[in-house]
Amino acid sequence: MSDAKMIVHDPTGLTPDVDAKYPPWKYVARLPSVSFLDSIGAPNLENFYVVGEAWASVLGRFMPAGSTVIDIGCGCGRTARFLLLRPDIRYIGFDVFKPAIEWADRYLSPLTDGRFRFEHFDAYSAHYNPRGAMQAAEVRFPAPDASADVAFAASLFTHLLEPDANHYLKESARVLRPGGVLVASVHIEPKPGEKFSGREDRIDVEPAYFQAMAERAGLRLRERLGDVCGQETFAFERR
């Protein structure tokens, strides 16, 4: 990848936190400010909505009624806001970028009657949490073994170094019930001659190699979904 300086998201300066063009409406989730959109890689509100709706639509294909759903790297709830329309599900989202979790907890959680919860993990990420107190490989997802029907990672493995990606795949397998599904996306243009390359602001991995990583973690390919919002996306099933 490029030798340019890595982009680091600063947890300061994210005010105002909501888009002032849209006032608060009862029972309606607020919209993030431009600075919050930038913190999750959304260049504008149109992209924020298009990507969130696309992921919610994909997940709906794998999400039976009454599902427990885990959002790995949830940001400020880009997909979660569309899952609010599913009153039958329970949702757990977590992220290493604390301002995003605080935003989602303030503006989304109150709309869910306790069905959605957002948690911060103070794990190191050169891109999102450079002062994190623990390593990514120490993160334990906030769910018991075999308790979730669906887990998803929208543009999460695009920011994890290989040891951390292996750990997150194993944790995904741990929390999923047998037959449960992980939907995950990756960039697929590693450096020539490499299967996995990049830094935490942009990771690329060969599709076959990512599938092999998932297999080693206890997951098998259920469906290769192809491009979803510019990233190659896979549905893996817990064996």
pLDDT of residue 10: 55
pLDDT of residue 2: 46
Structural domain spans, the chain: 46-238
d(CA 155, CA 150): 16
pLDDT of residue 12: 55
AA letter at 42: A
Distances from the Cα of 226 to the Cα of 71, 141, 155, angstroms:
20, 27, 14
d(CA 72, CA 189): 23
CATH superfamily of 46-238: Vaccinia Virus protein VP39 (3.40.50.150)
d(CA 102, CA 116): 13
Q: Residue 114: name the closest of 99, 94, 92, 145 by CA.
A: 92
Question: Are 160 and 210 contacting, i.e. CB atoms less than 8 angstroms apart?
Answer: no
Query: Residues in the chain with pLDDT < 50?
Result: 1-2
Kindly report the backbone phi and psi dihedral angles of residue 63, in degrees, each rounded to the nearest multiple of 5, phi listed first: -115, 95
pTM of the model: 0.94
Q: Using H for helix, E for strand and C for coil, what is the string for the chain?
A: CCCCCCCCCCCCCCCCCECCCCCCCCCCCCCECHHHHHHCCCCCHHHHHHHHHHHHHHHHCCCCCCCEEEEECCCCCCCHHHHCCCCCCEEEEEECCHHHHHHHHHHCHHHCCCCEEEEECCECECCCECCCCECHHHCCCCCCCCCEEEEEECCCHHHCCHHHHHHHHHHHHHHEEEEEEEEEEEECCCCCCCCEEEECCEEEECHHHHHHHHHHCCEEEEEEEEEECCEEEEEEEEC
d(CA 130, CA 214): 27
Place of tokens 């600075």: 35
